[in-house]
Amino acid sequence: MSKKEGLSNPFNLIVIVAALGYFVDIYDLILFGIVRVASLKGIGVPDDQLLTEGIYLLNMQMIGMLIGGI
């Protein structure tokens, strides 16, 4: 591969941008898993709804990742 084919190739730039977006999404999912209960309690979600609301939010994140990947 010559030096000219490095980052100047549009395909390489697209892959790098997509990978950065993927890493941000994964970081967000990990962070959400860590702070989910505390943050849901902080906004006033009742204890009996923590699991239901947490699953709903996780599903919305997954749908967002799916749409973002298209």
Residue with token string 């009996």? 48
The domain segmentation of the chain, as residue ranges, is 22-69
Burial string for 15-52 (b: 16+ CB within 10 Å, else e) reads: eeeeeeeeeebeeeeeeeeeebeeebeeeeeeeeeeee
pLDDT score for 6: 62
**What band does 2 get if pLDDT is binned at 50, 70 and 90?**
low
pLDDT in tens, 23-59: 988 999 999 999 999 999 999 999 999 999 999 999 9
